[in-house]
Amino acid sequence: MQIQSQEISKELHPIILKILNNRKVKDLHDFFSWDLKSLPDLTNLIDLDVASKRICQAIEKKEKIGVYGDYDVDGTTSCALLYRFFKSLDIEIELFQPSRFVEGYGIHPSSIDMALEKGVSLLISVDCGISNLETAEYTHDLDIDLIITDHHKDAKEYIPKAYAVVNPNRRDENQDDLESLAGVGVAFCLALKVKLDLEKEGKEVPSLYPLLQLVSIGTICDLAKLNNTNKKLVRHGLKQIPKTTYSGLKLFLNNDDKNKDMIESEKCSFNIGPHINSRGRLEHPEQALNLLINDNPYECHTFFNDIVYSNTQRKKIQNKVYDEAFSQIKSKWSHPSPKIAIAYKEDWHEGVIGIVASKLVENFKIPAIVFTNANEEGIIKASARTAGELDLFKALDHCKEFFLKFGGHKAAAGLSMKKENLKIFEQQINLYLESIPAIIRTKQQYFDLELSFHDLDIELANSLKLMEPFGQGNPYPIFRIRDAFISDYTILKDQHLKWMLQAKTKKSRYVKSLNALSFFYLSKWNVPSPDSLLKSQKENDLIIDAKLNINHFNGKRYLQLLVEQISI
C-alpha cells in the first residue's frame, strides 16, 4: 500500500489525518514514504570504510571470515543477514553465537580463541561489542582482526580498540538519522558498503533487497525506534515476507499471511520474534539461526519444531516467574507507591527475566528490574525495562558504582552486581526517580482519538494499515469509545476475556456489535471485575480504550477490538 500522491492528505482517511496531527507529524510524504533512494547515506558511519576495505581484502586473499552475534532476535537476524550476504558472493563464513548461560552477553576473549581455532583471521561482531574493551585489546597480539558492529550505547571509558568500530551511537558519531538503527540495521549498512566497494572493483554483487526481510524482523523485535529511516527499511522487508523464498520464514506463515500484500509488524513482534528469541532464552540459539540461514525445507521443519517446543517451554517458565514476581511487587505496594518495581529470587530462570520485567511494566505502569542469581557466588544479574519516556540507561548510570557489568539503551538494560548491594541500590534508584516527574517515569494511559462506536468499520481498519510498521516511536493507534456497552463476556483459558460490545444507539436497522479481546485481563493489577463492569455500566458510561484491527481466519476477515483498558 504505497502512497505517492503530492496531495497525500486528500487520499487519507480523515481519522488517520487527525491521529497524525495529534502526533505532530509534519511531513506526511516522508512519514508514508517507501522511497529507499531518499534514505540518508547508510554508508557514512565512522569506520565503515575501514571495515569494508578489510573485508574486501579478506575476500581477495580468501581469508576465513567469522561473524559473531548476540543470542537474541536482533543478533540472530544480524548473523543471518551477513551469512546470506556472503553466501550470495559464494563465500562460506563461520558463525558464532554465545550461550546466555555459559559465555553470557557480549564478545569475550574466549570467543576470540574459539574463532582462532576455526582458522578465522577476520571476525565481525554484530549487535554486541561496544562494551567489550578487554576483548578488543586481547586481539592485538593475535593473528585476527576484530571489526565491531553494534548499536548499543557507547558508555565505557573509551571506544574499544578494535580494527574498526561501527556504531551509530558511538560517542563521536553524528548521524542522527541512523542512531535508531538496530544491530541488524548496522549489519545491513556494512553489507551495503562492501557491495558498493566490490562493485567499484568491477565485481558483480547480487541485490541486497531480500535482506530487508531480516532487517524488518530484527528492528521491530528489538524495539528500535521507527523513525523515517527505519520505517522505510522495515516496510520493504514486511512487504517481501508473504512471498519469501527463505524456507525458515515460510513456516511462520499461514495461508492468510501468504495472501497479504504485507505482513503486519505485530506478526513479527508477537509470533516470529518470540519464537526466534525462545532458543536463546532457554538454551543455545543455534537452531533459531539455522532456521534463518537454511534453504532445505525438510531441515527447516526440524529447526522450526525445535523452536516451537522451546517457545512453549519458555511460556510455562515465564508464567511461573511472573506470578512470583507479581506477588512480590504487590506485597510491597504501599503509599507512597514505589517508583520502580524491583523483584528478586535466586532460582528464577535468567532467560525469561527480561520478558517478566516488561510484563511488570505493563501491569504496574512503572519501570521494572527483575533479578536472579548469576553463576558466580554472591553475584546477581538483572534485566530492566523502562516505563513512559524515562531514559532507563541514564537512570541506571546514576547508580553504576554498584554494578559489575552494565549495558543497554534508553528502553532496556542488563546489569550484574553483588547481592549485598541490592538493598542500597533499590534505595538509590528510587531516590533518583523521585527527582523525575511522574508523567515521564510512569506508563500513562494513552489514546489517540475519541471516536463513536459507529466510526469503527472496515474502511478505517484498512486505512490504519497505511501507517505500518507499528512499534517503538509509531505505536498502533488507540481509540477511546464511550458509546458502547458490554452485552456479554466469555473467559478464555482462565485469564483472557472476550467481550461482546454493543452500540448504545442505532444508526441503521441493525444494532452494531463487535467482539473485543482483553488479553491476560484476569491476571492484571487493580482492574474491575467483568461482573462489576456489567453492573456499573447501567448507571455510568464505559470508557473503552482499544485498538481496531481485522482478524484473518480461514480465509475470512472479522472486525475486532483489542482492549487496552476498560473502566467506568
pLDDT of res. 7: 60
Q: Work out how many domains the chain is built from and give that number.
A: 3
Decide if 316 is inside a domain: no
Asked if the structure places residue 218 within a domain, the reply is yes
Task: Say what the pLDDT of residue 432 is.
Answer: 95
Neighbours of 455 (CB within 10 A): 15
pLDDT given at position 408:
82
Interatomic CA distance for residues 170 and 528, integer angstroms = 47
Residue 173 included in any domain: yes
Contact (CB, 8 A) for 225 and 85: no
The Cβ of residue 97 has, within 10 Å, a number of other Cβ atoms equal to 25
Domain boundary among 290, 306, 322: 306
Residue 420, all three cell numbers:
549485598
Domain of 342, CATH number, reads 3.10.310.30
Q: Are residues 435 and 464 in the same domain?
A: no
Question: What CATH number should be reported for the domain holding residue 231?
Answer: 3.90.1640.30
Instruction: Give yes or no: residues 389 and 411 share one domain.
Output: yes
Q: What value does the CA radius of gyration of the chain take, rounded to a whole number of Å?
A: 24
Rounded Cα distance, 312 and 295, in Å: 25
For 4, counting Cβ atoms within 10 Å of its Cβ (0-12 exposed, 13-18 middle, 19+ buried), the class is: exposed
Instruction: Say if residue 299 is in the same domain as residue 340.
Output: no
* Residue 374: φ, ψ to 5°: -85, 175
Q: Both 66 and 202 in a single domain?
A: yes
Q: How far apart are CA 193 and CA 19, in angstroms?
A: 37
How far apart CA 302 and CA 322 sit, in angstroms, is 30
pLDDT for 5 = 42
397-429 burial code (b ≥16 CB/10 A, e <16): bebeebbeebbbbbbbbbbbbeeebbeebbeeb
Tens digit of each residue's pLDDT (9 = 90 or more) over 513-564: 999 999 999 988 889 999 999 999 989 999 999 999 998 877 788 899 999 9
Global pTM?
0.92
In-domain check, residue 179: yes
Which three three-digit cell numbers place residue 536? Answer: 456499573
Query: Based on the domain organization, do 433 and 509 belong to the same domain?
Result: no
Show the low-confidence residues of the chain (pLDDT under 50): 1-6
Q: Say yes or no: 337 and 391 in one domain.
A: yes
Sequence length of the chain is 568
| Enclosing domain of residue 354 | 333-441
Q: Does 279 reside within a domain? A: yes
